[in-house]
Amino acid sequence: MDAGLSRREVKKRLAAIGEDIANLDAILVTHEHSDHTSGLAAIAKGGGKRAIPVYLTQGTARCIDWGESCCPVAETFQAGCGFTVGDFDISSFTIPHDAADPVGFTLTAQGIKVAVVTDLGYVTDSLRVHLRGADMVVLESNHDLEMLRVGPYPWSVKQRVMSRRGHLSNEVAAEFIREDLDARVSTLVLGHISEHNNHPELVRNLALKALKGRTLFTKLVVVEPGVQSEVFCY
C-alpha cells in the first residue's frame, strides 16, 4: 500500500521479511503526495518482468507524475467502491486531506479485516463506520500540537497540518481510541509520526491512557519514523 520509498528500499525491506518484490500482485495508492508515491513508477514497472497493477482513484491518477512513461497498468476506481485482489476483498472510502481524491482502505480475507487510514484532518462518521469490525487498525498519530506550534515549520504549513484537511494530532487519535475504537480490534498500529513535530513516547503514552480508560486489551504498536515494523500475523 503506497510507494513513498524507492524501489531499492522496498526491495530490501521485503527481503528482510522473506518476501520478493517480484511477487507483488498489486499496489494500492491512497493519494498522490510524494511521500506516498515517489517510488511508485519504478516499482509498478516490475523490473522488466511484468507490470504490477496500480489501484487508485481517477483523481489521484491524474495528479501523479509517472516520469517518462505512463503507468504500466492503472486500475482506477471511484472512492467508496470495492474491488478484489487475489484473496482480498478491498473497500475504499473518502478521507479529508488536502489531496485530489484521497482514500483509506479496508482489506478482508479469511474472516480477518485490516483497516489502514493515514493522512486525514479529522475523524469522519464514514471512517467510524468503515473501521467497525476491524481486527487490526493502522491509524495516523501525526503530531503533538505544542511541538507543532513551536516547531520549525512555516506558519502556513502549520496551519495546513492542523486543518480539517491536514493530519491527525496525538490528541485526536487518542480521542478516537477512547470514544470509537471497536472493541474487536486486537492490534492498533499508530504511525505516520512526524519527525519534527512529535515523539513516539508521546504517541504511546496518550494512546495507552486512552486504551486503559476503556479497559481494552488491544495490542498497541507505535511505528517510529524510518524504522521497519514487526510482521503481524493472524
Residues 6+ apart with CB under 8 A from 101: 31, 57, 58, 59, 60, 79, 94
In this predicted model, what pLDDT tens digit does every residue of 62-116 receive, in sequence order? 999 887 766 678 999 999 999 999 999 999 999 999 999 999 999 999 999 999 9
- Give the number of other Cβ atoms within 10 Å of residue 226's Cβ: 7
Tell me the pLDDT of the chain averaged across its residues. Answer: 94
Residue 146 carries which DSSP code? H
Residues 6+ apart with CB under 8 A from 212: none
Q: Using H for helix, E for strand and C for coil, what is the string for 186-230?
A: CEEEEECCCCCCCCHHHHHHHHHHHHHHCCCCCEEEECCCCCCCC
In this predicted model, what pLDDT tens digit does every residue of 149-207 receive, in sequence order? 999 999 999 999 999 999 999 999 999 999 999 999 999 999 999 999 999 999 999 99
- Amino acid in the structure at residue 154: P
Please compute Rg for the chain using Cα positions: 18
Judged by DSSP in three states, 94 sits in strand
Residue 73 has a pLDDT of: 85
Containing 115, the helix (H) or strand (E) segment is strand 112-117
Residue 79 has a pLDDT of: 97
Average pLDDT over residues 108-129: 97
Query: What's the full length of the chain, in residues?
Result: 234
Residues 6+ apart with CB under 8 A from 188: 136, 137, 139, 177, 181, 207, 211, 218, 219, 220, 221
Residue 45 has a pLDDT of: 86
- For 127, how many CA atoms within 13 A lie in the half-sphere containing its CB? 24
Average pLDDT over residues 118-143: 97
Dist. CA 196–CA 211, nearest whole Å:
26
Sheet containing 74-77, strands listed edge to edge, beginning at the edge strand earlier in sequence: 27-28, 54-57, 74-77
